Amino acid sequence: MINYEEFDSAIGLNWYEIDPDVQQVMRRMLDPVDLEWCEPELIKFGALCGGAIASRAETTDKHPPELTKFDRWGEAVDRVVHHPTAIATKRDLWESGMSGPRLRKEAARRGRRYPAAMATALDYMVSQAEIAMLCATGMTSGVITLVQRYAPDEIKEGLLSHLTADSFDDAWDGAMFMTERTGGSDLSTIATSAREDGGRWILNGAKWFCSNIDAGVIVTLARPEGAAEGLKGIALFVVPKVRADGSRNGIEIRRLKNKLGTRAVPTAEADFVNAEAYLLSGGAKASDGRGLNRMMEMVNGSRLGVAAMGLGIMRRSFLEAAIFAAHRQAKGRLLQDLPMMRETLVGMLVELEAAAALVFAVTDGGAISRLLAPLAKMRVTRRGIELASQALEIHGGNGYIEDWPTARQLRDAQCNTIWEGTENIICLDILRALRDEQVLEAVFASLQARIDGVGAELAPIRETVTQSWREVRDALSILSRADRDLAQMNARRFCGYMADVAQASLLLEAAQWELSDSGNARKAVVARLFAEEHLSATRGRPIVSSDRTRLDLFVPLTRYGFIEPSQASGLLRRG
């Protein structure tokens, strides 16, 4: 079991070795051949994130990037200057293989595909240290995919040589600029123009929120001259940081945003001024109406990354709270021994494991990911704010002080509900996805199969979850017949409940795996607590019940211990 009394802080720990839940996820999801190779890399990365990267993050946050508009001769340079701690972390992340090509090349050398669950585990661990660094480095893989699929042959090799460089000094990272002054929710209003000039394009226009502004390769949306109004007239372009002749490209930075959080990644207002760009269309014409669809390929992947950011904040918040509660005393007792504190910490733990189950399920791929990616982004980023707030409160006044890590977690967490679409936008996207009968049936079939595999020990919880899926289907049927405004008004409630049921299903699957693998009923208790909290028809039941689960099983739950099935049998029957 994890002994929180041994630690003063989360910084300095190996964040893989101290996280039995993600270890179990890796054992459950990875082929044994892949696990044998991946786990040593995860252990090394856990030490890096919990050590040097976490330590530097506290300094980087207090010394955010600065903009140098002109050099000493008065020439415009628009150079972003990073603190040395930020550069050191970027170098470490590239060379570790998280954003650089090393791990993917090693997987290819072994004749294996690079496991998506492994990539998400790396994102999750770096997010515990600093989500801004995941933003600054994590978009590169999405840019690589778009360049590989859609870039003209004459520039593809040159871009990829930098995007997949072995050396950090030769590397170009990626970014995407979409939002304009009219906002990011209505992309049909994009005003940035594109004019064809031989084999290249010239872009002019303003972008309003440009994260990782000094990236080497930018993908962006613009409207070619003469194109139709609305979304069909938008095309996708790639903008290198230098022109073909080696000179600085026409990307002018107005100012860096003074942000609440995520300070390590520079976010700016920028103008394209006769910027040299190339159409990303795979040979199709700019007017084919598919530009936004291609952009959304990267956005959907980025949503999983943002969900991993929220999950990382949840984990860091729980870990810091558990360590603090194991040391701090009130009224002659440790905080962890106080009944309400036990309930709070168990509640944080249950939400964390339910969120992890949802995020890692996205890595299964296929039609289910089309729905679970936005669902995870919506649910887990909101829970990140909630757990960061709870961790801050557990620390009391100390939590509100910037000398402690919880204040930054709360500041950073708020950004995740905005990145890659606000909750309202995500909910509308989920409803659109569910109109596709193939997606709908694939999702329900996949999650139902996970429930059907559950044994008799978990049957009562399975019945609760199965009934809840019937309610989801009924609600969806009603929404599909409702008028547009009424359907949209209820979209958040529907998506929230669907997230509840999906998480409960995935926890049940994990609980069955753990029972079969080791005979441990710990995850089964977690699944029961989650179902009771989110799927129970009687919200007042816990108040009047004599259930002592959160008190009596506090230690094995929060410290990842062993719970005998006989201990849990009565609890599971109440599921």
- CA–CA separation, 96 and 174 (whole Å): 17
For the chain, list the domains and their CATH numbers: 4-138 (no CATH), 173-289 (2.40.110.20), 295-573 (1.20.140.10)
> What does the DSSP assignment read for 39-57?
HHHHHHHHHHIIIIIHHHH
DSSP category for residue 194 = E
Q: Which residues of the chain have pLDDT under 70?
A: 537-544, 571, 573-575
What pLDDT sits at residue 391?
A: 98
What pLDDT sits at residue 436?
A: 82
- Residue 236 gets the label, from left (phi > 0), alpha (psi -120 to 50) or beta, of beta
What pLDDT sits at residue 3?
A: 97
Given a contact cutoff of 8 angstroms between Cβ atoms, the answer to whether 213 and 254 are in contact is: no
- CA–CA separation, 377 and 250 (whole Å): 34
The residues facing 242 across adjacent strands are: 248
Place of tokens 């952009």: 295
For residue 466, give every residue at least 6 positions away whose Cβ sits within 8 Å of its Cβ, in sequence order, or none: 448, 451
> Computed from CA positions of residues 474, 475, 476, 480, in that sequence, does the dihedral angle turn out positive or negative?
positive
The per-residue pLDDT for range 480-495, each reduced to its tens digit, is: 899 999 999 999 999 9
How far, in Å, are 8, 374, 462 from residue 490 at the CA level?
Answer: 45, 17, 27
CA 432 to chain CA centroid, Å, is 21
For residue 233, give every residue at least 6 positions away whose Cβ sits within 8 Å of its Cβ, in sequence order, or none: 223, 224, 227, 287, 289
Can you read off the two tokens belonging to residue 208? 């309003």
What pLDDT sits at residue 91?
A: 97
What pLDDT sits at residue 573?
A: 63
Angle, helix 54-62 to helix 84-96, in steps of 10 degrees: 140
> Computed from CA positions of residues 206, 209, 215, 220, in that sequence, does the dihedral angle turn out positive or negative?
negative
DSSP category for residue 421 = S
**Please, where are the H alpha helices in 226-338?**
291-325
- CA–CA separation, 448 and 436 (whole Å): 18
Residue 96, helix vs strand vs coil: helix
- CA–CA separation, 170 and 556 (whole Å): 48
Given a contact cutoff of 8 angstroms between Cβ atoms, the answer to whether 121 and 44 are in contact is: no
Claim: this prediction has a pTM higher than 0.85: yes
Q: How many CB atoms are closer than 10 A to CB 77?
A: 14
What pLDDT sits at residue 264?
A: 96
Q: Which one, of 238, 203, 199, 207, lies nearest residue 223 by Cα?
A: 203
E strand or H helix that includes residue 174:
strand 174-177
> Computed from CA positions of residues 541, 543, 546, 551, in that sequence, does the dihedral angle turn out positive or negative?
positive
3-state DSSP of 512-540:
HHHHHHHCCCHHHHHHHHHHHHHHCCCCC
3-state DSSP of 339-360:
HHHHHHHHHHHHHHHHHHHHHH
Given a contact cutoff of 8 angstroms between Cβ atoms, the answer to whether 276 and 240 are in contact is: yes
The residues facing 174 across adjacent strands are: 217
